[in-house]
């Protein structure tokens, strides 16, 4: 299932779901809400990569704790069209991963 992700940084964040691939555009900053899964948001690492390319995200997105066991992911930016994977990790353990079609 592909869902449009039209929210930019200053607008109301979209809730991310690991089971839904999001449609996003290049050259826009995005912010999303994610479930903390019991982890402290600020201690999670955000990383990402583009399939078929040897590079990660062009920005360093940040996570901040929100009410109701949520984290706010801010500063996510996609600079190329294609398939992207964004991961949240705690040490070597992947906590969540999200798919984007740009």
Q: pLDDT tens digits for 3-50?
A: 445 444 446 789 999 999 999 999 999 999 999 999 999 999 999 999
Q: Can you say how many angstroms the Cα of residue 17 is from the centroid of all Cα atoms in its chain?
A: 10
- 10 Å CB burial of residue 38 (0-12, 13-18, 19+) is exposed
pLDDT of residue 3: 43
Q: How many residues are recorded in the chain?
A: 102
Q: Average pLDDT of the chain?
A: 90
pLDDT grade for 55, boundaries at 50, 70 and 90: confident
Find, among 35, 27, 4, the residue nearest to 100 by Cα: 4
Identify the structural domains of the chain with CATH numbers, from first to last: 2-101 (2.60.40.10)
pLDDT of residue 97: 95
Provide the token pair at 23: 């449609």
């Amino acid at each position: 299932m592909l869902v449009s992700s039209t929210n930019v940084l200053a607008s109301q964040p979209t809730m991310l779901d690991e089971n839904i691939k999001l449609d996003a555009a290049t050259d826009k900053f995005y912010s999303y809400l994610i479930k903390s899964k019991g982890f402290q948001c600020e201690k999670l690492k955000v990383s990402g990569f583009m399939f078929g390319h040897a590079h990660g995200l062009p920005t360093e997105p940040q996570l901040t704790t929100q009410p109701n066991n949520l984290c706010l992911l801010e500063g996510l930016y996609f600079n190329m069209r294609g398939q992207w994977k964004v991961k949240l990790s705690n040490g070597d353990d992947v906590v969540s991963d999200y798919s984007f079609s740009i």
